[in-house]
């Protein structure tokens, strides 16, 4: 029996169309397998925590089973522990922990008085150090050897100073180097105009004279008229000190209380006080700053 020619043509066209579409179907089927998805990662994490939880549950059930078994067999374990050949052995002392005798940890008290060791009615007994103290001493020796080998011999870890430097470098990356960064020094020039110095003097009299004196001679705060500075005498160092203050030294931060121009005005006035030699000046504090420039008083 022969099939009609039209039927053969149709079947052939269908087979060719199916073969032509096979690469497309193959790519479509393979795409989900090769493309990473967050669902697969979530499934792995879920499986991981499931295994961890299962392991923790098995360990807990094991501990409960051992505890119940010890409680159930405690009378029999006590009779075994009371045997002279068992009690004084190391394994017997471990068994003693299970039946309520902590001799393995506390040791044995002999209450034997040492002859001729009686001071003011205080008797000295010949007792060994507690085992727990000995164990701790041995552990501390092992830890010291491991610490020395790791940090000083192999140099695999950072010492405290190097660790501090690393943390400071990491912290510096997190601090923006902007106008509110106390570690970022400004590049201002001192104001020399009489109007600016007069305004700086007004600000100084209202806010600073109580600690530094009306003429900068120093009271609670240091003398501002000599060549010695605690935190730098260059205009930008003075500006930073005025703006951010000195924590723990009584110098408050004027940031937010004075504008940037007012901070520069009062800083310029402070720099201009150098060399004025007022009466009753406080003794010098700090060190000479070679970068400090004396400004001609123009007030």
Which value, in Å, is the radius of gyration of the alpha carbons in the chain?
42
> Per mean pLDDT, which range of 1-15, 93-107, 202-216 is the poorest?
1-15
Q: What is the pLDDT of residue 25?
A: 42
For residues 245-254, give the mean pLDDT: 88
- Domain 194-288: which CATH class? mainly alpha
Residues 6+ apart with CB under 8 A from 172: 183
Residue 201 has pLDDT above 90, yes or no: yes
In whole angstroms, what is the distance from residue 290 CA to residue 266 CA?
A: 21
Residue 247 has pLDDT above 90, yes or no: no
| Number of CB atoms found within 10 A of residue 12's CB | 10
Work out the pLDDT band at 1, boundaries 50, 70, 90.
very low
In whole angstroms, what is the distance from residue 103 CA to residue 123 CA?
A: 23
Q: Which is higher by pLDDT, 210 or 22?
A: 210
Q: What is the pLDDT of residue 115?
A: 56
Reported pTM: 0.42
The chain-wide mean pLDDT, for the chain, equals 80
Work out the pLDDT band at 267, boundaries 50, 70, 90.
very high
Tokens of 5: 């020619």
For residues 114-136, give the mean pLDDT: 76
Question: Among the residues of the chain, which ranges form H helices?
Answer: 5-20, 22-34, 38-72, 74-81, 84-87, 90-99, 103-106, 131-148, 160-174, 194-207, 209-212, 235-244, 260-272
Give the SS3 label for residue 125: strand
């Amino acid at each position: 029996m022969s099939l009609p020619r039209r039927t053969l043509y149709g079947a052939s066209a269908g087979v060719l169309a199916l073969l032509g579409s096979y690469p497309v179907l193959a790519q479509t089927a393979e795409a989900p397998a090769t493309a990473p998805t967050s669902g697969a990662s979530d499934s792995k994490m879920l499986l991981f925590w499931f295994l961890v939880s299962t392991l923790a549950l098995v360990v807990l059930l094991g501990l409960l089973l051992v505890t119940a078994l010890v409680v159930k067999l405690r009378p029999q374990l006590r009779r075994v522990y009371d045997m002279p050949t068992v009690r004084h052995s190391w394994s017997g002392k471990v068994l003693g922990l299970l039946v309520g005798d902590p001799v393995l940890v506390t040791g044995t008290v002999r209450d034997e008085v040492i002859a001729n060791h009686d001071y003011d009615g205080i008797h000295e007994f010949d007792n060994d150090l507690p085992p727990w103290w000995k164990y701790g001493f041995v552990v501390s020796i092992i830890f010291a050897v491991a610490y020395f080998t790791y940090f000083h011999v192999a140099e695999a870890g950072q010492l405290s100073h190097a660790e501090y430097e690393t943390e400071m470098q990491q912290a510096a990356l997190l601090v923006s180097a902007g106008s509110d960064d106390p570690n970022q020094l400004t590049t201002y020039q001192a104001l020399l105009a009489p109007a600016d110095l007069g305004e700086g003097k007004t600000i100084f009299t209202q806010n600073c004279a109580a600690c530094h004196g009306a003429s900068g001679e120093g009271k609670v705060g240091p003398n501002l008229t000599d060549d010695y500075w605690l935190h730098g005498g260059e205009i930008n160092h003075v500006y930073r000190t005025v703006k951010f203050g000195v924590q723990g030294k009584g110098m408050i931060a004027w940031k937010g209380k004075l504008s940037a121009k007012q901070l520069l005005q009062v800083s310029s006035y402070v720099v201009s006080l150098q060399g004025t030699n007022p009466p009753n000046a406080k003794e010098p504090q700090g060190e000479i700053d070679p970068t400090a420039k004396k400004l001609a008083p123009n007030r």
